[in-house]
């Protein structure tokens, strides 16, 4: 696993061993970033289920101003710290060891882009989407990018969001955009 492009291009990233963490493949990651490539510069990013931190690191490498990475695993937290330091982004990325729901309930920031890549076969994705909307942590015209198993059914979203889904084999990506009131 590596940083695809930008300031940290080619840097190798560590990941956790075992089945609890499933890193985003380079193909899917590149596709995700191609979708938002012109919307990253100067943005504030949240990587809610950090794992290795690769999505936030890629975003900062491509020009995002700052990223917060959240994970509730001590082992993941340690890997993320190593990856952020190795890429030279300790001044641009904050890492928090806590549960996603605790973070969302207490978040005092608005984010331009939120990455959601929780473990597959859990209800975490839909719970996180609902909480992001409920606690209104997206900036105006903010984006939520979700990676999930193709068999996962996404929750309903309010009409103030648009959605576009992409398929990459067993993996789907959905991009929700906060669009305000529709006429």
pTM (predicted TM-score): 0.92
What ranges do the domains of the chain cover? Answer: 29-178
pLDDT in tens, 42-90: 999 999 999 999 999 999 999 999 999 999 999 999 999 999 999 999 9
Cα angle value 17/170/118 (rounded, 5°):
50
Can you give the pLDDT at residue 158? 87
Can you give the pLDDT at residue 183? 41
Tokens linked to 166: 């992409």
Can you give the pLDDT at residue 5? 87
- CATH for the stretch 29-178: 3.40.50.150
- Which residues of the chain register pLDDT less than 70? 18-22, 180-183
Report the distance separating Cα 78 and Cα 43, nearest Å. Answer: 25
In 37-171, alpha helices (H)? 54-61, 74-87, 100-106, 124-134
Residue pair 114/143 in contact by the 8 Å Cβ criterion: yes
Can you give the pLDDT at residue 1? 86
């Amino acid at each position: 696993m590596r940083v695809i492009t930008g300031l940290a291009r080619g840097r190798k990233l560590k990941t956790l061993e075992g089945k609890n963490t499933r890193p985003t493949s380079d193909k899917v990651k590149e596709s995700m970033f191609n979708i938002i490539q012109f919307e990253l510069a100067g943005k504030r990013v949240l990587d809610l289920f950090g794992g290795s931190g690769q999505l936030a690191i890629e975003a900062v490498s491509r020009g995002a101003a700052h990223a917060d990475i959240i994970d509730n695993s001590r082992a993941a937290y340690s890997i993320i710290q190593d990856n952020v330091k190795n890429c030279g982004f300790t001044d641009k990325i904050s890492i928090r060891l806590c549960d996603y729901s605790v973070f969302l309930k207490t978040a005092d920031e608005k984010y331009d882009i939120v990455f959601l890549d929780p473990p597959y076969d859990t209800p975490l994705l839909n719970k996180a989407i609902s909480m992001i909307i409920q606690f209104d942590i997206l900036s105006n015209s903010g984006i939520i990018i979700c990676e999930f198993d193709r068999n996962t059914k996404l929750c309903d979203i309010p009409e103030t969001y648009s959605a576009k889904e992409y398929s990459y084999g067993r993996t789907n990506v959905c991009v929700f955009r906060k669009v305000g009131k529709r006429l």
